Chain A
Amino acid sequence: MNKDIEEGSQKPKRFKRSKKPEKNADTPQKIDYTIALAGNANVGKSVVFNELTGSNQIIGNWPGKTVERAVGKLSFEGKCIEIIDLPGIYSFSTYSMEEIVSREYIAFEKPDVVINVVDASVLERNLFFTIQLKEMNVPLIVCVNQIDLAKQKGIIIDTDKLSKALGVPVVSTVAIRGEGLHELMETAIESAAQNTVTDTNILKYGAEVENRIEKITEDIDSKNLDLGYPSRWVAIKLLENDPEIRKLVETQSREVVNHAYALAREIEDIHNEPSFSVIASERYFLANQFAFGAQLESKIKITFAEKLDKLVTHRVFGYIISALVVGGLLLWTFVVGDFLSGLLSNAFSFFQPVDPQTTGTLTSILWNGAFGGIVAGVTLVLPFVIPFYLMLSLIENSGILTRVAFMMDSAMHKIGLHGKALIPMILGYGCNVPAIESTRILETRRERLLAAFAITFAPCAARTIVILGLVAVYVNIWWAIALYGIDLLVMFVLGRLAYKVVPGEASGLIMEMHTFKVPSVSVAAKQTWARTKSLIYVVFPVYIIGSAAIQGLYALGLLTPVANALAPITVFWLGLPVIAGVVLIFGAVRKEFVLLMLVAIFGTNLATVLTPIQFVILALVSMLFLPCLATLTILLKEFGAKATAIIALANITTALIVGGLAYRLFLPFL
């Protein structure tokens, strides 16, 4: 408890959680209050969330939506508080999944308090969203965060003035250092306990808009429509021509919708501008007034961060730095990952050999498979993913990644994506699964799909093992590098092809270039852990069950007929031995199985079994032919069965075409 901290002291207080023995956020416990965190992206909302809840959080999905849902618990002054971190959004009007999730949550789940985290240095743009939250008619608190960064730029915010203007409590914080969070929570609890909405302080628009909002509000109220949302909010949304809300109201009263439509047309006639644009301008007008009323801005100083920004986006140095960041991230991942992977593999082989077992009793084979699945997850996925996530989190939070995306935008356009898509693509080099999951940062389903498709060809850690283990060891390193090159080429060509084939338009880049800041290691560590945890839930079960099942099938002799049936493809088209069919089926579960199975069947002296060309073709085909089972699972989760089937089919076709052609082309050289 923080009773020892003096009330009203001017010194910044560090926020401390009470050390109550609640190990697990899963354990059922009576929740006194629910608080939702809402705000723009990159305002330090996740930092506030992490500081408040610590490791006591669960990251999952919103039901039926591929939008991340972070829930945490906090014990504060004897109260158990549940905190929901809503996705970072700028408005309630573009109908992205994030926006719909947020607005439905606030309207229907009715949290006791909504804390709107805003960035002190970009107050005007942030208040645009605050105004919309206020229209949702929920108990609201504004948390002006990053006041330290704002001060460096010469911006000081008068919270009292802002509070008076908005009609809601305002607390200033430096979340990254825990400053002001104690006061924030006290204010939040106070508001939650009262649970009253300051209905009296309605933010009014300009007369010609305001009059029409009031008319529609009266209309809705007089008809007693039961919409779940506040009447005034619905009225504004109708004037904005929001299709979702229009549909909702139409189910109850067509008259209201028509009336609102006529009024919206009147506004358009007055302004020569679409009504939604008029309302956005009006909101920004209010936001501007509030921001400048509360802002004591001496003069904008050129900060070190801005000088750094100039360098990082310089027309020459910018590319060098981008290359260094991307290259450094990959190098870091592989060096650290390789080291950890080696360490862990040694530790595991101490217990039990992990090579696939192909003879013996069925139970021992199944056990070997399941255990091998765990080992694969621990030694192949985690060592690469954890360092990657950690570094990614750091460069993401520092603002460097935004600049890299800015510089690489035009290159990414070649495959129909924009700069932001670079982030998941890089991630694909470590492991495809989190990479596909992180395509959520892109705006449209089409872009997410295009990026995910390209990622399924990215040479992940397991593919690297196959290339190195088969080709670098038994042929030579140059052929291994050549295969890497072919893989990148395939990734690019198919990415571009998919871009031409998949219908729809590119959504284009609109990205905030937020200020550089020193990232917090503890926040990065927490993000890394949370992301890793959700990955474990997907990868491990698939690995364990898949490995056991496939080994069982093999031991029962069920795979050999399949391999024989595949012989026309494997033997005649690809020039491989019949056993390759079995090996490839194994590889569909886990890519590195291709290598492990060969060793299990033939021992380490593979050179006597396969010819050099067969090593190259086998590595090439197993690299391309199907995303591994875990990747398929995540594809299924994110994009559904149809898209997954198409991607899988495209992968197989590509592998067969490229493999067959490569066999005929490379034969003279090997």
Chain B
Amino acid sequence: MSANEKLSSNIEEYLETIYKLSQKEEDVKTSKISKDLGITQASVSEMLKKLDKMNYVKYSQYKGVKLTDKGLKAAQKVTRKHRLLERFLHDILKLKDNLLHDQACEMEHSLSDEAERAMCQVLEYPDKCPGDSVIPACDFKFTSCDECLNRREEEVNEVGKRNENLIPIMDLKDHQKGKVSFIRGDYKVIRRLLDMGITIGAFISVVKIAPLSGPVEVAIRGSKLAIGRDIACNVFVELVE
């Protein structure tokens, strides 16, 4: 991974859209992307081929498009900035709801990682944007928000960035296994999770997800737990084979 690779705003917009659409289905259809971005299907295919070459997505004309690990990383990063910005514009600047999205779209590409971290701290580690979509986790090697809060700016470089992608447990697919790596939120929830065996480094898999955005049932340490969506979107794992 080259840290300094600066993506064009255009690519970021594509990745963001594919990420958003891939929450609903594994392979995203070109037509949906075209509709979402308001760009012709032909131009979208063209761009997807380019992104495939750059190894951000796997694209096949018939099945649709899927983010690669590299693509997911970039997509989560820009989505995180977008949703944090929306939260910021909404909570702090009290902007009207209909202005949030476009404003955040403009700002997300120029927001530095340092500003992103500061914004997250000021907003007290929000887990959802005003539209109720989950904000992806940050890519520092923190295991909790407390750690982030306790570190000074110059210490953060020592902590470093994660190589693996973090995925909230409710996004785990059947038979995927994850290693608990980051739990967002205040210590009360974290302690309850720890007591039930969801500790940093523990292996976890999803048994089933209740419909109608109900809770997630996970298997951990030989026991099964039901975890409400609001908590499940704050438990992040790294995928393991």
Please list the residues of chain A having a beta carbon within 8 angstroms of any beta carbon in chain B.
90-91, 93-94, 121-125, 128, 268, 271-274, 276-277, 280-281, 284, 288, 291, 313, 315, 318, 402, 405-407, 409-411, 413, 418-419, 506-514
Q: Which residue of A lies closest to B217 (CB)?
A: A513
CB nearest neighbor in B for A411: B212
Chain B residues, Cβ within 8 Å of A93: 191, 194-195
Query: B192 and A272: CB pair below 8 A?
Result: no
Most chain A CB atoms below 10 A, which of B150, B199, B212: B199
Specify the chain B residue showing the minimal Cβ separation from A265.
B150
Establish whether residues B147 and A273, one from each chain, have CB atoms under 8 Å apart when the complex forms.
yes
Q: Which of B181-228 contact A (CB under 8 A)?
A: 187-197, 199-202, 208, 210-215, 217, 221-228
Between-chain CB contacts (< 8 Å), 27 pairs: A90-B195, A90-B196, A93-B195, A94-B192, A122-B221, A123-B222, A124-B221, A125-B221, A268-B147, A273-B144, A273-B200, A274-B143, A276-B191, A277-B200, A280-B194, A284-B199, A288-B221, A291-B222, A313-B210, A406-B226, A407-B210, A409-B215, A409-B228, A410-B212, A413-B228, A509-B228, A510-B196
A272 touches B143 (CB 8 A): yes
Other A-B contacts than A272-B159, A419-B226, 4 sampled, CB-CB below 8 A, are A124-B221, A284-B199, A510-B192, A510-B225
**What residues on A are CB-neighbors of B146 within 8 Å?**
274
Q: Nearest A residue to B146 by beta-carbon distance?
A: A274
Q: Given the complex, which residues of A lie within 8 Å of B191, measured CB to CB?
A: 91, 93-94, 276, 280
A413 to B188, CA, bound (A): 20
- A291: chain B residues within 8 A (beta carbon): 222
Of all chain B residues, the one with the shortest Cβ separation from A273 is: B143
Residue of A125, A318, A508, A511 near B230 (CB, 8 A) is A508
B199 touches A409 (CB 8 A): no
Contacts of B196 in A (CB 8 A): 90, 125, 510, 512
| Known contacts A91-B195, A409-B210: A276-B223 contact under CB 8 Å | no
Closest to B232 in A: A508
Which residues of chain A are within 8 angstroms of B188 by Cβ–Cβ distance?
A: 94
> Contact residues of B with A, CB < 8 Å?
141-144, 146-147, 150, 159, 187-197, 199-202, 208, 210-215, 217, 221-231
**Assembly CA distance A123 to B223 (angstroms):** 9
- Contact yes or no, B225 A281, CB < 8 A: no
Residues on the B chain within 8 Å of A125, using CB? 196-197, 221-223
Q: Which of A91, A273, A274, A419 contacts B215 (CB 8 A)?
A: A419
Bound complex: CA A146 to CA B177 (Å): 28
The answer for the CA separation of A280 and B183 in the assembled complex, in Å, is 14
**Which listed residue (B147, B189, B212, B213) contacts A274, Cβ 8 A?**
B147
CA distance A266 to B221 in the complex (A): 28
Q: Which residue on chain A has the smallest CB distance to residue B189?
A: A508
A278 to B193, CA, bound (A): 13
* Contacts A273-B143, A274-B187, A410-B212 given; does A418 touch B228 at CB 8 Å: yes
With A128-B195, A407-B214 as given contacts, are A277 and B144 in contact (CB-CB < 8 Å)?
yes
Contact present for B223 and A122 (CB under 8 Å): yes
Q: Are A513 and B189 in contact (CB under 8 A)?
A: no
Closest 9 CB pairs of A and B: A509-B228, A91-B195, A280-B194, A513-B224, A508-B228, A122-B223, A508-B231, A410-B214, A281-B199
A509-B226 CB under 8 A given contacts A94-B188, A273-B144, A407-B210 = yes
Please indicate the chain A residues that have their CB under 8 angstroms from the CB of B201 in the complex.
281
B19 nearest CB across to chain A (Å): 24
Assembly CA distance A457 to B146 (angstroms): 42
**Given A274-B146, A276-B194, residue A512 in contact with residue B225 (CB < 8 A):** yes
Chain B residues near A274 (CB, 8 Å)?
143-144, 146-147, 187, 190
Contact A272-B150, Cβ < 8 Å, known A313-B208, A512-B223? no
Which residues of the other chain, B, contact A318 by a CB distance below 8 angstroms? 210-211
Q: Are A313 and B217 closer than 8 Å at their CB atoms?
A: yes
The distance in angstroms between the C-alpha atoms of A101 and B8, with both chains bound, is 59
B229 neighbours in A (Cβ, 8 Å):
410
Residues of B within 8 A of A506 (CB): 230
Determine how close the nearest CB of chain A comes to the CB of B161; give it in whole angstroms: 13
Q: A418 to B225: give the CA distance in the assembly, Å.
A: 15
CB nearest neighbor in B for A402: B226
Q: Nearest CB to that of B201 among chain A residues?
A: A281
Chain A residues within 8 Å of B141, by CB: 272
The chain A residue sitting closest to B221, CB to CB, is A124
| Across-interface contacts of A281 in B (CB, < 8 A) | 194, 199-202
- Asked, given contacts A122-B223, A125-B223, A402-B226, whether A315 binds B211 with beta carbons under 8 Å apart, the answer is yes
Instruction: Please tell me if the beta carbons of B197 and A128 are within 8 angstroms of each other in the complex.
Output: yes
Quick one: closest B residue to A91, CB to CB? B195
Shortest beta-carbon distance, B218 to chain A, in Å? 9
Contacts of B192 in A (CB 8 A): 94, 510
Which B residues lie within 8 Å of A315 (CB)?
A: 210-211
Bound together, the chains give a CA A510 to CA B147 distance in angstroms of 24
Flag if B199 contacts A509 (CB, 8 Å).
no
Measured CA separation A262–B147 after assembly (Å): 15
CA distance A405 to B225 in the complex (A): 12
* Contact (A406, B194) CB under 8 Å given A272-B143, A273-B147, A284-B199: no
A residues near B194, Cβ cutoff 8 Å: 91, 93, 276-277, 280-281
Query: Which chain B residues lie closer than 8 Å to A268 at the CB level?
Result: 147, 150
Selected from A124, A413, A513, the residue in CB contact (under 8 A) with B222 is A124
Instruction: Give Cα distance in the complex from A512 to B193, angstroms.
Output: 11
Q: How far is the CB of A613 from chain B (nearest CB, A)?
A: 40
| B221/A280 in contact, CB under 8 A | no
Docked-complex contact A410 and B225, CB < 8 angstroms: no
Residue numbers in A under 8 Å from B197 (CB-CB): 124-125, 128, 284
- The reply to whether B147 and A284 contact each other, CB–CB distance below 8 Å, is no
The docked-state distance in angstroms from the alpha carbon of A406 to that of B196 is 17
Instruction: Output the least CB separation between A398 and chain B (Å).
Output: 16
Chain A residues, CB < 8 A from B225 = 510-513
Bound complex: CA A413 to CA B228 (Å): 10
Give min CB distance, B217 to chain A, whole Å: 6
Q: How far is the CB of B132 from chain A (nearest CB, A)?
A: 12
Report how far A402 CA is from B191 CA in the complex, Å. Answer: 22
Residues of chain B lying within 8 A (CB to CB) of residue A413: 228
> Are A277 and B199 neighbours in the complex by a CB distance under 8 Å?
yes
Give bound CA distance, A567 to B192, whole Å: 54
B231/A509 in contact, CB under 8 A: yes
